Structure formats: C-alpha cells, structure tokens
Amino acid sequence: MTRTGTSIALALLAGTWALPFAAPPAFAQVTLDNVLGAPLPGGLTASPADGRVAWVSNERGVRNILIAERAGDGWSTRKLTNFAKDNGYELDRIAWAAKGSVLLYTGGGSLEGGGPINPESLVTGPLSKEIFAQKPGEAARSFGAGEGPTASPVDGRFVFTRGGQLWIADVNASGPAVQLIRDRGNSGGPVWSPDGSKLAFLSRRREGHVLLGIYDFTSKQISWVSPSTDRDASPRWSPDGKRIAWIRTPPTASQLMYVFRGKREGTPWSIWVADVASGKSAPVWTADAGAGSVFQPVEDGTTLLWTANDRLVFPWEKTRWLRLYSIPAQGGQPVALTPDGSELFAAELDRARTGVIFSSNAADDDHRHLWEVAAAGGTPRPITRGASIEDMPVVGGDGALYALHATARNPMQPVLVSRDGAMKPVYAASDAASFPAKDLVEPQRVVFQSSDNMPVHGQLFMPPGKASGPRPAILFFHGGPPRQMLLGWHPMGPYARFYAMNQFLASQGYVVLSVNFRGGTGYGMDWREALDFAEAGASEVRDIAGAVAYLKGRGDIDPRRIGAYGMSYGGIMTALALSKLPGDFAAGVDMAGVHNWTSFLPYLTAPGAPPELARIATASSAISSAKDWRAPVLFIHGDDDRAVVFSQTVEMIGALNDAGGKVQVEQFVLPGEVHDFVLHSNWLKAYGRTQEFLQRKLMNAK
C-alpha cells in the first residue's frame, strides 16, 4: 500500500476520513463520513394492539431496535436494544408477541444466509443467528439458535426455524424452546391460524417439490394439503380459520434454462383453497397462458392476502406490469386493483381488512408513493404524491398508517401518514442536524436510447457550481438485477448506500449517471425479463453503450475521462463495460461481480446440458474479453461472500494476468466480509478506496 493509501486506511479505521485532495470549499460539508452516516431504517412493523411502531435502525453500523409511541402531539422513541458497536451484528425479523407486549427478533448471523459470519476476524469465533424475546425496559431473553420468529395471535407462543426444522417456545413460560416438527424436508414459512390452534407451514423437499402442511396442536398430527409435485407457497388462512389458500406453481423442464431471463411465459400458476376440516381442496383460479403465466412476487414479499369480505388479493402480470388483483375466495373473474402501466412494490390490508394500501410508481416511475383501493375493486386513490418516496406501508392495530419516507436530499425515516398525505416523522436520528442535506444535489430524470434503440432510464447527478471545462463522468450500475434506483434515497439499505456514494461523487466534481439497465424493476415485465440477458447473451451491454453515447453527446463531458463502478450485478456491469467496450472507459471499480457465468452457474456444464448454453454464457462473460481490457481497475470483494463467491474475482484477475498483464489491477480484499458488507467501517473503507482510485485515474488524469 502506498503512503497515501496507508494514511487513508488509518483515518478510516479512526472514523475521521476526509479527502486528501482539495475539494471546492463550497462543497466541503459533504464527506463520505457524513453522507454514509445516514440512518438506515428497516423491518418497520406496527403493534397489533395499540399505536406503537418498531423498526431496526442502523446508524453507522450500530444496529438497534427502536420503538416509537405517541406522546401528546409528538412521539416518544426509545431503544429496545442497546448495542453500541459497529460489529456486524444483524437484527432482523421483528415480530410482536403476546398481543403486543413483547418483541421477538433474530440477532446475529448474516441476512444472506450460509451460516455464522466473522467480519471482524475475532479469535473468539463467528456471529451466529439467535432468537430473542424482549419487553421494553427489560433484558433480552435468548431462546437459542434460530431465525424467523412467528408469534401466535392469541398467546405467548411462537415458532421459529432451527436447522431446517420448526421449534416452539413461549415468552410467558420459563422453559426452553422444543422441536415442534420432525420433517424429512426443510420446514419454514409458518403461519398461525387465527385462533392459534393450528400452524400451516411449507416443507421443501430435496426432490424439488414443496408441500403445504398443517400441524394441529390438539392432535399433534400433520395433515398434508393436496400433496403434489408442484411448489406450494404463501399459505393464508381465512378470517374464520376454516379454510386455507395458497399459491401453487408447477415444475417445468425449462426451469434451468437461464437463471436471469426466460420467465415471460410458462405453465400457468394457480391459487388453491382447501377446507381444513374435510381436507378437500381445489384451484379457485388459474393464470392465463402467455403474459403473467409465470408467478412474480411483490418486492416486499406480498403474495396473497385474504380480506374480511372473503376476497383473495394477489399480484399478476397479465398486462406485462406487476399489478394487484382480487377474486372471491370461491373463485371468479379477477378484478384489477392497481393502475396499469405501473409497478407494485408493497401491499398491506387496512384495519378493516376490506381495502388495500400499496406502494407504486404509478404516474411517476422515478418515485414511489402510497395509494389505497377497495379490495373488491374501484378507482385507486393516491395518498402521497410529489418529489418524494414512500414505501413499505404497515398498518397498526389502531388503524394508523406508517411507512418509510425520503426525498432527494433527506434519507429514509419512518413516518406516520394521514389519509390526506400529511406525514409526521416518528424519530429523528441523534446526528440528523449534522447531515449535509442542504449540500446534496437533486438528481435529474434522464431517458436515453440503448444501442439497440431501447429506452433506458437513469438519474443524473450534476456537480454543484459552474464547471471550468468538460468534467469527468462516472456510470453507476445497481445490483440485483431486479432492482431500481430512484430520484431519492432508497428504502433498501445497500441501495441507500449506493445513492449516498453517487451524491458524494457529485460533490467531488463528477457527473454521475445512475443507469437502470434492463433486468431491473420499475418498467414492466419485458424490461425485467429481458431477452438475451446475462448468461444468455449479455444484452445489457447495449445499455452501457447507450449510456456512454448519451454522456458523450452532452457536450460537457470529457470523453477521455469516463469511468464506471457498481456492486454485485453492478460489478458485473462494470467488468462488462471495461471488457466489451474497452475504448470508452478510463477506469472502473468492480465490487463483488460475476466474471465467468460458466463457473458461476453449475447447470451450464452439468451432464446432459446442451454445449451451446455454456458457449453463449462464456461469450457473455467479461472473462472472455480479458485480452481486450485496457482500463485500470480496482477490484473490491469480501472473501466470505455467500452471493457471489470470492473465486469470481480470483478468476478474473488471473485471466487479466494471463492476457499479458497490461491492465493495471488494484485490489481491496475484506477478509471475513460478506456480499453486502455488514460493517459500516468496511463501507467507508471500500468507498474511500473507490474515491481515491477514481481521483487518480479520472479527476487528476491529464
């Protein structure tokens, strides 16, 4: 490491990092430390009994569960947990138990799965997932290893998953958790019946099918509901607990024909309903052939809702857009609930359970807003509007509506939303006053043409102030790929950090174009399920080419100083940019990207796989063009990545070395870190190295 690099790293570790390069004085208030220090709220959940709301707040890597409740005309917020260190200790799956008197949650481990993690390389061992129950003001009680607690609606019992099996415990009893079911499959997805007498669950069998089971607490027996070779999902009880509905998707021989595309049509999925007492079941609705025949869930996980007026609400892409529909529980013609030509991101029943509150980009595809509609059908009514983002709505036991809210300059925060659209924050972070909101820029909506004449959406971050000449530019590519960057702070943690980094780079004088490339959400099924995408042809390279052409055509960009960066699928896009379009880029930062589809996707070379699949996948990979790569590159990767194995970066660097070593390769490896870094300090380090690299290769380039 150079002396400059060493000083940067030491400053990062001390939490005092600032640019070693002179920045324009007017923009000096925007630093990596303060813009990345924005609190990241998640897991918003409202009490079923009163007006309290809880969520996980990640403030500079210190995660705590906060509870807010009304106090006069304002709000009183207190911590349920009292963690004080950025150590990667995750908190997840908050659930209200014992009629709202206790909170359950999972602590430790990684939200990516794959077992314990050790991002700090502690000699004492890794962080494992553990189940906790805690009353406000009292110490947490551990129920041992496990995840995903689900509370009974009538008493203190709850179930959770441990080792692929369901366990049960009671927050009001002193005894430990005990195993509830011993199943030959991996059991999960538990759903309590309304009276707490039964538990529906899913059993994922190693043969590929998924069964729906119902455990009866009185008989202590399991009843399998219409077992088949299909994959059952999303069980939902009727309000009276006498019936159960679920989603059923059939197996197809083409399931392995490409991972990232090929899902526009298939054998139609269906909704089934069973009478629990008799066991009789039947499909009450089946998707039409063609568009929408392949099931697509909502981003927040919503798949099936059962209303108080006996209707089933579900997502469907019949019009090639993800919308909500409803049918009578006995079957019938579906009624569209959400607007056509727009995407659905989250949905929740209102207090009466006869209406739906949902988030959508209807009428504004660069923002998200809250809407409401009767479950039986009618005209959707917007609740919020304007240049802001509202998402992840939840409804409390008192009928109050909460959501996450942000603007272009103000990060996500939980708010109380009135039906006229007024929003009141329920919490302000301790360092909110020092956040540089006024110094951030308002990104601009842009739409340009890909090289194959497809419209590509993006957000353009223009540096503040007047330029003395053509500026350096950076293309940013998000992860996923089924994600969408917005004209404001994102409700998902990693994407909020991406947005923060784009703001920081703009403050340093770069023109940043965030590209919502094909394969992403927000623009309909055909855009998400792009043809010849990823391992099937790398059609996304055409979006990169279009973005470069757009920048060069502006007249205010130095075409010799265009760079790229991104993480996860954004790392893939960066590597494709540098390898497939080598004459257009001066530098790139590739974070946790896939570089060889053939080694990443085992099905491509499995016995019996058509050789043509592997040939196309190899040609669609950056590694196939290693010999053409010219621009210097910085690779950043955690070596305990469970989503994109670290060997992908090893393989790519090896290929560049074998191609003659003419590419300047720099590395920043994070031992023990996972895909979406769990340590805030590692985000600071990674982005600090990114800025320092881009400063040398783009900003200071002659």
Q: What is the DSSP string of 425-483?
A: ES---TTGGGS-GGGS--PEEEEEE-TTS-EEEEEEEPPSS--SSPEEEEEEE-SSSS-
Q: Is the pLDDT of residue 432 over 60?
A: yes
Measured CA distances, 418 to 71, 75, 77, 346, 395 (Å): 17, 15, 20, 18, 11
More confident residue, 347 or 51: 347
Q: What is the mean pLDDT of the chain?
A: 93
pLDDT-based confidence at residue 545 (cuts at 50, 70, 90): very high
Nearest to 581, CA basis, from 596, 562, 595, 558:
562
pLDDT-based confidence at residue 398 (cuts at 50, 70, 90): very high
Mean per-residue pLDDT, 23-36? 71
What gap in Å lies between CA 671 and CA 682, rounded to an integer? Answer: 10
pLDDT at 349: 97
pLDDT at 40: 95
pLDDT at 112: 87
Q: Render pLDDT for 108-167 as a digit per residue (tens, 0 to 9).
A: 998 888 889 999 999 988 889 999 999 999 999 999 999 999 999 999 999 999 999 999
pLDDT at 301: 86
pLDDT at 9: 31
- Pairs from 65-74 (Cβ < 8 Å, separation ≥ 24): 65/91, 65/94, 65/103, 65/105, 66/427, 67/103, 67/136, 68/414, 68/426, 68/427
Q: Is the pLDDT of residue 702 over 90?
A: no
pLDDT at 224: 98
Least confident of 24-33, 106-115, 317-326, 514-523: 24-33
Least confident of 147-156, 247-256, 676-685: 247-256
pLDDT at 10: 27
Mean per-residue pLDDT, 546-571? 98
pLDDT-based confidence at residue 428 (cuts at 50, 70, 90): confident
pLDDT-based confidence at residue 259 (cuts at 50, 70, 90): confident
pLDDT-based confidence at residue 269 (cuts at 50, 70, 90): very high
Q: Render pLDDT for 187-223 as a digit per residue (tens, 0 to 9).
A: 999 999 999 999 999 999 999 999 999 999 999 999 9
Superfamily classification of domain 441-699:
Alpha/Beta hydrolase fold, catalytic domain (3.40.50.1820)
Mean per-residue pLDDT, 64-81? 91
pLDDT-based confidence at residue 254 (cuts at 50, 70, 90): low
Mean per-residue pLDDT, 499-503? 98
